Structure formats: structure tokens, C-alpha cells
Amino acid sequence: MKNLIPISEMAELHGLTRQTLIYYDDIDLFKPVLVADNGYRYYSRRQIPYLREICFLKSVGIGLKEIVAHFQERCPKKEMALLQQQKEKIMQEMTRLHKQRDAINQRISIYEDAVDADALFMEEPFIRPIVARKAIFKEYIKPINKENLHMTLMALWKEVFKKEMVPSSGFGSILKKQAVLRKEPLAEAGSCVFLPQWDEEHEHTVDIPSATYACMYKYGMPYEVEHVEKLMQWIVDNGYELFGDIVDVCLLDTTFYKEQKTLDFCLLQAPVRKIKK
């Protein structure tokens, strides 16, 4: 046993535990060259590169069952194929993690907007630039009430879930420009679910342009038009004109309230431009 390496030393050389090497022996992945009468395991120095390779493959995420099968017919060509396959798995996982990160960032952004509202007066309009967005849109189920509002949103969420996504970018409503201008804001209005930037096109995708928006925080349901009327009056009084659809973004729904509240906390967003004199 003079030139053999005891199990504890072999484990320490590779940052493993004795129990790990015993398990590798049990699954026929890495076996000792000698098992003494007392059951103690010993390894040859020539085995070090093999265990080093096992540790590498495991460190890049390849499962032990795959490594066991690979070592039965190991050659450079097959190992290259194994590594290429694992690389593709990692790339797919990175894509999934990037999407999760973006989803978290989008949800944080919604909550930041809600928190920032504490520094502003409720129902006091203000101007804000907002970047372009995409959403899927569906007209309200009639008659327009709270129950049918939920039904409309459920139909949209179902469309999103078809692509194995969880809505992370929030939801709201869209009020069509022409209907608002003729003072029938609920005509052709409907619910929307905002899409992450990396999402594919859906059947009912609409583009919400980058623009300067007249905005106003409010507590209320999207079919309660008095808030839209107040914002439109402010737009006219301050020398602006509406040039696109109004978006009513739900920042906090009633699940956030400890007390019993029946109204959502929302942000009206109306794209505007100054009227040239």
C-alpha cells in the first residue's frame, strides 16, 4: 500500500468527502484499486486524472448517471458531444434566468411607481415621458362591471399562459382615443396585459408608443370615467392635445390592502403634445 492513496487523502485532493467517494464506488463510477480487509479503500495515483475529469464534468452540471454512462465508452469525440449538449442546456437555462430577471425587474418597476406616488398628490395630473410598450388587448365583456372586467382579464391571461409565461409586467385598460374625444370613453375600451420586451407576438398584440404622457394617480375601476374626464380637462386647460389611446395601469390591486378596499390603485397615462399656437 506504499504507493497507494487512502480514501481520505484522495477525497481531500479533489475537494470531496469520503462519503462521496464511497458513493462513486457504489454506483460503479470511480472504484478503488484496493479494498483492505478492514474495508478501507485505496486508490492509484494513475486514477487522479479520472477523478479530476469526473469532478469537472459534475462541476459543469452533467449528472452522475450521464457521467457513468459516458465513462463506459469515453473518447474525445464523445466527450466533445457531451459537452456541446451540456452547453446547449446551459444556454437555454441562461435564457430562462434572464427572462426571470427581467420579469422581476418589471414587477419592481411597477411597485416603485406605486411607492413614488406617496410623494405626489392624488388625482393631480403631471407630465412624464414613458418608453414604448407592448400589450395584448381585449374589449370589455359587456355589460361592463367588476365581474366582467375579471372575465376579460382572465381571457387575456389565458392567452399569455399558452406560451408558458406568467404575466409579470402588469395589467390595466386601454381607452381608445376617438371614443375619448367624442366623450364616450368606454366605447371600444378593454383590458390589457403588458408584455415583457422579449415576448413573442400574440394574436391580439397592440403597440403603445413612446411619448410624453399626462398622468394621474387614482383609486378607482377603469370603467369609472370621471377620472378620465378630469384628466382630459387638465390636458385642454394646459395647452395639450390627446394624440393616442389612454392607458389605465393598475399599480396595486386590492390584494395589497390590509383594510377592506374595493378599488384598485392605478395610474392614468394619456399621450399628449403641446398645441402649436
Q: Please provide the DSSP assignment of 230-254 as one string.
A: HHHHHHHHTTEEE-S-EEEEEEE-G
Average pLDDT over residues 202-215: 89
Whole-angstrom Cα distance, residue 137 to residue 173?
A: 8
Confidence check: pLDDT of 198 > 70: no
For the chain, how many structural domains are there in total? 2
| In the chain, % of residues over pLDDT 70 | 88
Q: What is the mean pLDDT of residues 37-46?
A: 92
Same structural domain, 57 and 125: no
CATH number at residue 135: 3.20.80.10
CATH code, 67 = 1.10.1660.10
In a domain, 227, yes or no: yes
Q: What is the pLDDT of residue 234?
A: 96
Among 74, 102, 129, identify where a domain stops. Answer: 74
132-155 residue pLDDT tens: 988 999 999 999 988 898 899 888
Residue 175 located in a structural domain: yes
pLDDT at 179 over 70: yes
Pair (54, 126) in one structural domain: no
Same domain as 53, residue 172: no
Q: Is residue 269 part of a domain?
A: yes
What is the arithmetic mean of pLDDT over 44-59? 94
Task: For residues 167 and 156, give the distance between their C-alpha atoms in angstroms, rounded to a whole number.
Answer: 10
pLDDT computed for residue 118 by the predictor: 59
Answering whether pTM is above 0.85, one says no
Is 268 in the same domain as 203? yes
Judge if the upstream peptide bond of residue 209 is cis by omega within 30 degrees of 0. Answer: no
The whole-number average pLDDT for the span 108-114 is 77
137: CB partners within 8 A, 6+ apart: 156, 174, 190, 191, 192, 204, 205, 206
* In-domain check, residue 204: yes
Same structural domain for residues 51 and 150?
no
Residue 30 domain boundaries: 5-74
Average pLDDT value over all residues in the chain: 88
Residue 100: what pLDDT?
A: 82
Degrees to nearest 5, angle at CA 97 with 91 and 99: 105
Of residues 56 and 165, the one with the higher pLDDT is: 56
Q: Is the pLDDT of residue 236 over 90?
A: yes
54 and 131 share a domain? no
**Which one has a higher pLDDT value, 147 or 120?**
147
- 65 and 130 in a common domain: no
Q: What does the block give as the cell for 211? A: 411619448
126 lies in the same domain as 210: yes
Please indicate, yes or no, whether residues 67 and 180 belong to a single structural domain of this protein.
Answer: no
Domain assignment present for 80: no
Within-domain flag for 137: yes
Dist CA 267 CA 220 (whole Å): 10
The answer to whether residues 270 and 208 belong to one domain is: yes
7: three-class secondary structure by DSSP: helix
* 6 band by pLDDT with thresholds 50, 70 and 90: very high
